[in-house]
Amino acid sequence: MGFAPCQTMKEIEMNIAFRWFLGIGFESKVPHFSTYGKNYERRFKDRAVVEAIFNHILSLCFHYHFEF
């Protein structure tokens, strides 16, 4: 799959920044990890799409001299 959905959901439960980014309220329950896992598989079944998005983001970082 390329990411650990269970660990990701644990991070979302605990990390305010993730909740804010995803629009999940502080009192709201985080969905079960399988919900996102199945959606991720359907949406990014074609790995080339994911790699293209990632490469585009990296190129923007380099263009604007973002330091890691």
Locate the domains of the chain by residue range. 5-63
C-alpha distances (whole Å) from 52 to each of 10, 14, 27, 48, 64 are: 27, 30, 35, 6, 18
pLDDT at 2 over 60: no
Distance between CA atoms of residues 15 and 3, nearest Å: 17
User: In the prediction, which pLDDT does 68 show?
Assistant: 62
Position with higher pLDDT, 5 vs 15: 15
pLDDT of res. 65: 84
8-64 tens-digit pLDDT = 788 888 888 988 888 888 888 887 777 777 777 777 777 788 788 889 998 998 888
